[in-house]
Structure 1
Amino acid sequence: MSDQIFEYLLERKLGFGKHQLRQFFIISFIDFLDGAEFLFLSLLTPTLKQEWNLSIVELSIFGGSFNLGLMIGSTICGFLADKIGRKRILIIGTVLQTGVVFLTVFAQNILQMILLRLTYGTVIGMNLPISSILMIEVTPKLHRGKIIVALQIMILLGRCWIMILGYIFMEGISKGNWRAISLCNSMPCLFCLIGTIFWIQESPRFLILHQEIQKGIDNLNNIGQFNNSDYEMLTDNEILSLKEWASEQHLHHQQENNSIKQLFNSENLPITWRNYLIFFLFMFTMLAIFNILPFILDDENKSLLHLYIVDIGEIPAIFLMLYSIDTFGRLSTLLLSTTLLIIILFSIWVWKFQIIIMGLIIFKFCCKINWGTLNVLFAESYHTLYRSLGVGTTMAMGRIAGSLAPFVVFPIYFNNNYLPFLICGVCSFFMLILLISYPIDLTKKPLDQLKKQ
């Protein structure tokens, strides 16, 4: 039983309950703030362009700085979280996050703002992969997909938070008191920091695999006791099985442990290069359109309300994901969503302003499904010993695309408003081809299974 002891304990003994829900509630504020930031940038970018009279170059650098920071943060997370632990990275990230959001209130010029967005992107890039990884590593396999998708609800709530603040402090898409919005946004940052310090536990799976056996066992017992008042402590046989499981995992991975080489060995190479390309193409597509979204609505004489209406597509996407991700599987969900994404991008390019609002709603619908499902697919594809490294470097590849997107899309947009939709449709088509050939789908299957020889 040692090869599946961890899954057995999670499903049969610890169960899914108050611990996972409490951890979800705290961690979800990371995704809440991520969602808030993206909509805040949609308001901030055109506002700063008008308020500070920014050039296209300055606008592109500003638009790319946040994603460049996300790339740096994802890389830091990837290399450090598998060595020093998930919780430590999360604490460092949330401390910096709170400080940067507060300092944004006092930015006086575009250089300061670029540096702050770069730093904020870095800390968000550190935190985001950890939020999914921590939940995946303590959640029974039957609930893994749904719990990660549920984090997407918090992204939507984060945007609702900015919508409320926008109605209070903004006069339009490109005019208003963005400093007040930033100040209000520091409050959920502070809550996330406090919750992380006092109530988040280190992943027991991580601890046991890093030879901190007793700490891992203590954490497992704490989870069990918190979930169930009648919980019985781990037996000697179960502890022995955990030790045997850890030894087997280390024996299998010992030659490449704690090295990026493990992502490119014969077992992982087919996964890694696809992950990198899929996320690069997806993030370029999503962020290229997100960058021009407020401008295209403004050019079409749409109001702030229309900017918010576009987000409606994310609501049914979340509920569809909650059903489909475990019912049909990760890959099937992605294939259907990406196909629809291609169709709508080409449709907007052809029919332009005639379908722009409905088209963007469907675009957001598809992006939300892809974003949530890809997070699960990537995290499940790698072993615990290097899950953060795999997910972090994959996220970094996507953030590189996000950093490049403004430099590509703004010059194109200001010459031809709808050409970016054609370009993104082509990118999505290549992404679909990669998904069709994806080699693994761990829907409702155990993590960290050794490959049978």
Structure 2
Amino acid sequence: MISFDDILEQKIKTGRYQFKTLVIIGLVEFCDGIEYAYMSILVAIIKKEWELNQQQIAYLGSSFLLGMVIGNCICAFLTDIIGRKTTFTIFTGLSVFLIYFTSICTSYNQMITLRLLFGIVFGTSYPLGYVFITEITEPKYRGRFGYSMGVLFVIGKIYLAFLCILYLEDFTTGNWRGLIRVNAIPVAISFIFSLFFLKETARFYLNQRKYEVAFDQIDTTIEENLKVQGILTEEEKQGLINWQEKQIQINQEQELNKFGILSQDYRYITLRIWILYILANLQNMSIYLLMPFLFASNNSNLNSMLYMFILELIFALLLYVVIDDPNIGGRKMVIGYSSLILVLANASLYFFRQQILFIGLLLIKLACRALFSTLGLVCCESYPLQLRSQGTAIAFGIGKTSSIPSPFILFPLFYIDPYLPFAVMSVLQIVMIIINHMIQDDKTMKPLESHKQD
């Protein structure tokens, strides 16, 4: 038998096909970075412009998070039915229309609905990008390609910071409608490219038993990458069929269709990943909801946000170098070090407050960036193909579900003491260190799918 990872390493290799796919998927990730960073700024501006109360701004933040949970559920099951490419193209196209309608929104109720719908689109496309990239890349480069999504996410935030300087006066006033319209351009480009240049993954076709389609896809990919006629031999084709049939048999024995990610072999890693995502999302929301208000109270200008995003990018590029090195980086080590930084940064913010505001928030942002990029890889690497989109998307959804009530928790704590939320987060991140230590398997530079006997 021969696995798809063997074909990927020996014949397909890494080249134009993977980089082209990364650019198309990455454009949406770039826009997701814009949208996620803009969420907190938009809330602060609308609060002042529309004279919203504390409860209304909490609902505004929660509607987006609820939409993300719904989108995660859609991604979990729809992508295994209609495919990765089709799902990506549909929801990328929808996001273009939603950006436009948001730019002409005139009422609070309309904005709540649009934030909910945009959350659904964002929640569907965000985990799908990680699934797509991990399924087409070699084990030795999988971490870097996956982490490139996080780098593009940060670049999107830097792009947003420049737009904020151009369109906004400060964190609470400015032409937010014009800013939104400009953001539709890269999404529209990604949608058009996905229609004509994005291919479905060969792993998806193999799992659907569409073997001839998968073989044709593999042949054209070899030709695209190596500029040679790299036709699979009959022996290789039969080896792939035998391997995939064995994988399907194992999945049936494990009753994956019945229990899914909670089947006996996957339930414990699933629960641990869920806890890590819950804690990471709670920490992330403390930044995105409170940062504009903290900067405003500290009389910081929009340049502070730009400097923070630039430093975040530098950190992301450094981590990109070591993410696939099990001796220096590796998935568990990145999560462990990030959790420790969060414990220390949150505690320092609570005790030293405005004296270290910029440095404290920066450290939290850097650690969160490392966490989310690495957790996305851990999800994709922890499940077989039949469960990959389900496991990844539901983990994202579970994390976001915990974030839905966070505005109703963080803002009351913030109004008691602006730095009290960080004291709470410092304690919670200790739990993350413990859970990460309990995860046994680290698939850094290992095959994405393998049978137990292998």
TM-score with structure 1 setting the length: 0.97
Q: Hey, what's the Cα distance between the residues in 2 that align with 1:268 and 1:47?
A: 44
CA distance in 2, matches of 1:86, 1:244: 24
Q: Match of 2:94, as an amino acid?
A: L
Distance in 1, matches of 2:286 and 2:212, equals 48
Cα distance change of structure 1 residues 175 and 260 upon mapping to structure 2, 3 Å threshold: farther
**Contact 1:281–1:431 at 8 Å: present in 2 too?**
yes
Q: Does 1:264 align with 2:262?
A: yes
Determine which of 195, 199, 202 is the counterpart of 2:197.
199
User: 1:111 maps to which residue?
Assistant: 109
2:272 is matched with 274
Q: Which residue of 1 aligns with 2:437?
A: 436
8 Å CA contact 1:66, 1:121 repeated in 2? yes
2:68 to 61, 67, 70: 70
8 A Cα contact 1:297 1:303, kept in partner: yes
CA deviation profile, 1:264-293 (whole Å, cap 9, x unmatched): 122101110001111011101111222011
Structure-1 residue corresponding to 2:130: 132
Give 1:312 shift: 3.4
Identify if the C-alpha distance between structure 1 residues 23 and 290 changes in structure 2 by more than 3 Å, giving closer, same or farther: same
Aligned partner letter, 1:291? L
Structural mapping, 1:238-249, within 5 Å: 238-249=236-247
Structure 1 equivalent of residue 359 of structure 2: 358
Judge conservation of contact 2:161–2:305 (CA < 8 Å) in 1: no
In structure 2, what residue type is equivalent to 1:186? A
Counterpart mapping for 1:357-396 below 5 A: 357-396=358-397
Give the superposition deviation at 1:316.
2.9
Contact 2:277/2:398 (<8 A) preserved: yes
Q: Which amino acid aligns with 1:360?
A: L
- In the TM superposition, residue 307 of structure 1 has moved relative to its aligned partner by 2.4
Q: CA offset at residue 260 of structure 1?
A: 6.4
Give the 4+ runs in structure 1 shifted more than 4 A: 255-258
Give a deviation string over 1:361-412, Cα, whole Å, max 9, x none. Answer: 1111111111111111111111111100000100001111222211110111
Look up the match of 2:186.
Answer: 188
Q: Deviations over 1:139-161 (max 9, x none)?
A: 01100000011111211221122
Matched residues, percent identical?
28
Q: Any gaps of 5 or more consecutive residues in structure 2?
A: none
Aligned CA RMSD, in angstroms, stands at 1.4
- Give the secondary structure class of the aligned counterpart of 1:316: helix
Counterparts in 2 of 1:228-377, with a 5 A limit? Answer: 228-255=226-253, 259=257, 261-327=259-325, 328-377=329-378
Gaps of 5+ in 1: none
The one-letter code sitting in structure 1 at the alignment partner of 2:384 is H
Residue deviations 1:157-201, cap 9 Å, x none?
A: 211221221111101110000000111111111111111111111
- State the 1:258 CA deviation: 6.5
Aligned to 1:148: 146
Match of 2:207 among 209, 221, 225: 209
Tell me, in whole angstroms, the C-alpha distance in 2 between the residues paired with 1:346 and 1:249.
47
Mean Cα displacement is larger for which, 250-259 or 73-82?
A: 250-259
In the alignment, the residues of structure 2 paired with residue 325 and residue 35 of structure 1 have an alpha-carbon distance, to the nearest angstrom, of 20
Q: C-alpha deviations, 1:240-264, integer Å up to 9, x for none?
A: 0111011001100125666461211
Q: CA deviation at 1:56?
A: 0.6
What amino acid is the match of 2:76?
A: G
- Where 1:54 maps in the other structure, the secondary structure is coil
Cα offset, 1:231, TM superposition: 3.6
Evaluate the alpha carbon distance shift between residue 168 and residue 234 of structure 1 in structure 2; reply closer, same or farther with a 3 A threshold.
same
Distance 1:415 1:260, change over 3 A: farther
Check the 8 A contact 1:256/1:262 in 2, yes or no: no
Q: Secondary structure at the match of 1:21?
A: helix
Task: Return 319-328 or 172-181, whichever deviates more.
Answer: 319-328
The code of the aligned residue for 1:371 comes to F
Is residue 2:176 matched to residue 1:175? no
Counterpart of 2:443 in 1: which secondary structure? coil
Amino acid of the structure 2 residue aligned with 1:419: L
1:11 corresponds in structure 2 to 9
Whether the 8 Å CA contact 1:63–1:406 is kept in 2: the answer is yes
Q: Distance in 2 between matches of 1:428 and 1:88?
A: 38
Shift of 1:202: 0.5
Maintained 8 Å contact 1:317/1:366: no
Return the TM-score normalized by structure 2: 0.97
Aligned-partner SS, 2:405: helix
In structure 2, distance between residues paired with 1:260 and 1:333: 34
Partner of 2:417: 416
Partners of 1:317 and 1:368 within 8 A in 2: no
SS across alignment from 1:108: coil
Is the CA contact (8 Å cut-off) linking 2:158 and 2:309 kept in structure 1? Answer: no
Aligned residues: 451
Q: Give the Å deviation of 1:83.
A: 2.1
